[in-house]
């Protein structure tokens, strides 16, 4: 028996394996990001943006990073540990303005999870950012 002439996988099996690994590769290299402009009551123009490299939520107002935290479930209850869907609230400030970001994660059966953040500045709805 000559080992050099033996094939371990058929061409179909190699293509099938590549097809199955491609989504994993794409998800692992994805950097979810979104941007949205917002004008305050006093007319100041802001650019609210977010991305999530390696599961860390980064939220900017203009060029100032205001949130830089791992996007994991803040609810530490047992019931929450069993649920893949959750909502986190982040409170911070930007130039003496109160900023609240309410970010949720929703999972779906055959796709990667969706991440969405609603951003409020001084209590005003400022942006809705989809990170997918």
**pLDDT 10s digits, 83-118:** 778 888 999 999 999 999 999 988 877 777 788 999
- Spatial separation of the C-alpha atoms in residues 56 and 64, rounded to whole Å: 16
What is the predicted pLDDT for the residue at 90? 94
What is the rounded distance in angstroms from the CA atom of residue 48 to the CA atom of residue 60? 6
What pLDDT is attached to residue 44? 93
3-state secondary structure of 81: helix
Residue the block writes with tokens 């019931």:
79
Q: Bridge partners of 106?
A: 114
Going by the DSSP 8-state scheme, the letter that residue 59 receives in this structure is: E
CA distance 64 to 93: 11
Ranges of the chain with pLDDT below 50: 1-3, 6, 14, 17-31
Residue 112: its pLDDT value, please?
A: 74
Domains plus CATH for the chain? 31-131 (2.40.128)
Question: In sequence order, what are the residues at sequence separation of 6 or more whose Cβ sits closer than 8 angstroms to the Cβ of residue 123?
Answer: 98
Q: What is the pLDDT of residue 16?
A: 53
Would the pTM of this model clear 0.85, i.e. be above it?
Answer: no
């Amino acid at each position: 028996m000559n080992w050099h002439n033996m094939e371990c996988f058929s061409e179909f099996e190699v293509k099938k394996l590549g097809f199955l690994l491609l989504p994993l590769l794409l998800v692992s290299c994805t950097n979810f990001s979104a941007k949205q402009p917002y004008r305050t009551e006093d007319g100041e123009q802001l650019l609210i943006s977010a991305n999530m490299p390696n599961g860390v939520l980064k939220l900017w107002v203009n060029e100032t990073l205001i949130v830089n935290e791992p996007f994991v479930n803040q609810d530490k209850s047992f019931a929450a540990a069993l649920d893949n869907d959750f909502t986190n609230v982040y409170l911070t400030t930007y130039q003496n303005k109160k900023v609240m970001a309410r970010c949720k994660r929703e999972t779906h059966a055959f796709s990667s999870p969706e991440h969405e953040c609603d951003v409020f500045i001084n209590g005003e709805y400022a942006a809705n950012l989809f990170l997918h």
